Amino acid sequence: MNIYKKWFWPLVFPSLFLFALVIFYPFIMGVINSFLAWRGTYYFDAQTGTRAKSLLNSFVGFENYKEAFSDQRFIKALVYTVEYTIVAVIFINFMALALALMLTKISKGSGLLRTVFFLPNMLGGLALGFIWQFVFQIIFTDILFSPTGWHIEALRYMTQNSTKALFALAILNTWQYAGYMMIIYVAGLNTISSDYYEAASIDGSSYWHSFRKITIPMLMPSFTIVFFMTLANSFKLLDQNVALTNGEFNTRMLAMQILRTIKDTSPPNYGKAQAQAVIFFIVIAGITLTQVAITKKKELEM
């Protein structure tokens, strides 16, 4: 036991140091800069109209936050992100659970199928965005669902309409993340003893009744993890948004809005962008922590 105590801090310190340097320090500086007239390379003093001599001279209080909430592009991005998150969480969880249920019933080739379904998660967001942009613009619009093919107007030009693009992003990210979330559901399903289902079948329980009364309650720990990850990933979406629509046709999401704020303002208002980032963090933290608390409570009740 003494040897563990002896080597605990020497082994933990490098990780703590990197965390403080890469995560904690930039986060604290970001919060501080959200209250300052920060222009990226210098701090601005509004009273003198010149560079601030100290951080106190560039202090603007909640002015950056007021500007953020008065910016219609930020509000639209927030609403669009929430709408996308609702759709994506439903799509990803439904597909991941369906794949997991299918694979647990297959005895041969399940390992290969797990690998195939998981592979899209290995691709980067930008690469996926450009791949699916080709799919939506060329394959869907010009080949499959063109007027000379199976003409389905709702599936044409999906990247050139805010509503269609929302579902296009959901399809893209379902294809990317469903296989990863499927692994979590498979692990959860494998922990459920077959004795429960055998006892239920003896009592005359149907498949759907057993699914509602046995599978779902026993899978609550997996639901907690998957819901947390899909919520967080949906709110933080950036690369796919950039590659698929580049924010055009009112398809900016929060992460892209923060990124583009410095281009929308002249001179670049990094303080306002940082205020939006802080709001972004609070929204994600609030929603995900609430979700975890609710699903954890369900675990205990079950």
Number of Cβ within 10 Å of residue 133's Cβ equals: 19
Q: Tell me whether residue 18 is in a domain.
A: no
Burial class (CB in 10 A: 0-12, 13-18, 19+), 118: middle
Query: According to the model, what pLDDT value does residue 146 have?
Result: 81
In this predicted structure, what is the pLDDT of residue 1? 56
Average pLDDT over residues 172-191: 92
Tell me the two tokens of residue 139. 């394959």
Q: Which residues pair with 36 in a beta bridge?
A: 59
- Would you state the structure tokens that stand for residue 183, as one six-digit string? 């692994």
List the structure tokens of 16: 């703590």
**Domains held by the chain: number:** 1
In a domain, 241, yes or no: yes
Q: Report the greatest alpha carbon distance in the chain.
A: 83
pLDDT at position 184 is 93
Q: Which domain holds residue 171?
A: 70-301
Which comes out higher in pLDDT, residue 145 or 92? Answer: 92
226 touches 184 (CB < 8 A)? yes
Structural domain contains residue 94: yes
* pLDDT tier, 301 (very low <50, low <70, confident <90, very high otherwise): low
Query: The domain that contains 211 carries what CATH number?
Result: 1.10.3720.10
Q: Structure pTM?
A: 0.86
CB-based contact 138:159 (threshold 8 Å): no
In a domain, 31, yes or no: no
Give the percent of the chain with pLDDT over 90.
Answer: 40
Confidence of residue 112 (pLDDT cuts 50, 70, 90): confident
Burial grade of 208 (CB within 10 A; 0-12, 13-18, 19 or more): exposed
- Reported as a pLDDT band with limits 50, 70 and 90, residue 64 is very high
Q: Rounded CA gap, 100 and 301, in Å?
A: 24
pLDDT at 300: 52
Identity of the amino acid at 281: F
